[in-house]
Amino acid sequence: MLFDTVTILRDLIAFATVSTDSNLEMIGYLARRLEAAGARVEVMQDPTGAKANLWATLGPQTDGGIVLSGHTDVVPVEGQPWTSDPFTLTERDGRLFGRGSCDMKGFIAACLTAAPYLAKRITDRPLHFAFTHDEETGCIGAGHLIAALRDRDTRPALAIIGEPTEMRIIEGHKGCYEYSTEFTGLAGHGSSPDSGVNAVEYATRYIARLLALREQLKARTPLGSRFQPPWTTINVGSLHGGVAHNVIADHAHVEWEMRPVVTADADFVKADLAGFTTDLLLPAMRAVDPGTGIVTTTIGEVAGLEPMQANAARDLVADLTGANGADVVPFGTEAGLFQSLGIDVVVCGPGSIEQAHKADEFLELHQLQACLDMLSRLGDRL
């Protein structure tokens, strides 16, 4: 099975499914493979028609199924010092190099290899495959998929998200909320700062508020939080604005994110910023020019995965892998979206997150074999 999986992974890496580009060719490849294994396949295109999710089912169309899920998109390679073609699988020293090898086409390749075997083992409950688009840019595809699944009469019982965890069981992670805030000011000569509205200055006041909130969030750390750090974090990713030393900046752009431990923290931050903007910043700006403004755009609000005392997915994967215990991680996945369906979810897949998004991304062969072993044992539970 390992040789076949590497062959499939070579095909998958050759699809340059960077999030800015279409994933339809890869989705077509996955559909053909799963149909050949006997699955009922649905290709769900996004509103643009350039991207799609794939939902495939082996076995009966009933409640109680198991979902194996992964995303098809990868991050860009521009500017990274790769030592081999990132979209050609390169094998050396027991490692498989290529963009997406661990994040997360290795897991998808293992699922395709295992599908014909799993199809023969299924009896009374279905096995679903969910392969999504645009996870790297805000879990957009998974959001569409979950919305579609909510409208169905049948629901799966649990899901395994195959993100790279070195085959460790992950039962919780923080959410990931990303925003862009635009400041529109009034340009003027730098010698007369009071005659204009300096968008950069107001952006820095907004950033100062974010940093103050970051400190306040430490005092809201939930009792017994297992995350590192245990509180909700805020990060300011970039500030752009202005054109010259002697010109009042009429535009500024701030990109920032927060990673909430609990949804209440996100609500707290958003409510505070709304009041700060409406009651303090905007009145000061519009006292000079009513055409000024502040607009925040939500790039993505991806729910966290909440650790649950009872979790059938965790118990199943522990049985399949022999793992003792489960961990939490700071990075985000699509798991929280699946949990919002009311099903049990864990994250467990081959490879290390330390290799993801970097030049010379790789997946170790022994990790891929461990994933195949897990899926083989899953067949015994079907």
Q: Any idea how long the chain is?
A: 382
Q: Of these residues, 11, 42, 46, 73, which one is catalytic?
A: 73
Q: Is 268 helix (H, G, I), strand (E, B) or coil?
A: helix
Residues contacting 269, CB < 8 A, separation 6+ = 213, 217, 232, 234, 258, 260
Contacts for 188-195: CB closer than 8 Å, 24+ residues apart: 188/247, 188/248, 189/246, 189/247, 189/248, 190/245, 190/246, 190/247, 190/248, 191/246, 193/248, 194/288, 195/248, 195/288
Name the CA dihedral angle for 110, 115, 117, 121, rounded to a multiple of 10 degrees: 130
135 given a catalytic annotation: yes
Q: Of these residues, 134, 135, 163, 250, which one is catalytic?
A: 135
157 close to 316: Cβ distance less than 8 angstroms: no
Instruction: Compute the distance between CA of residue 322 and CA of residue 44 in angstroms, rounded to an integer.
Output: 36
Which positions are annotated as active-site residues? 73, 135
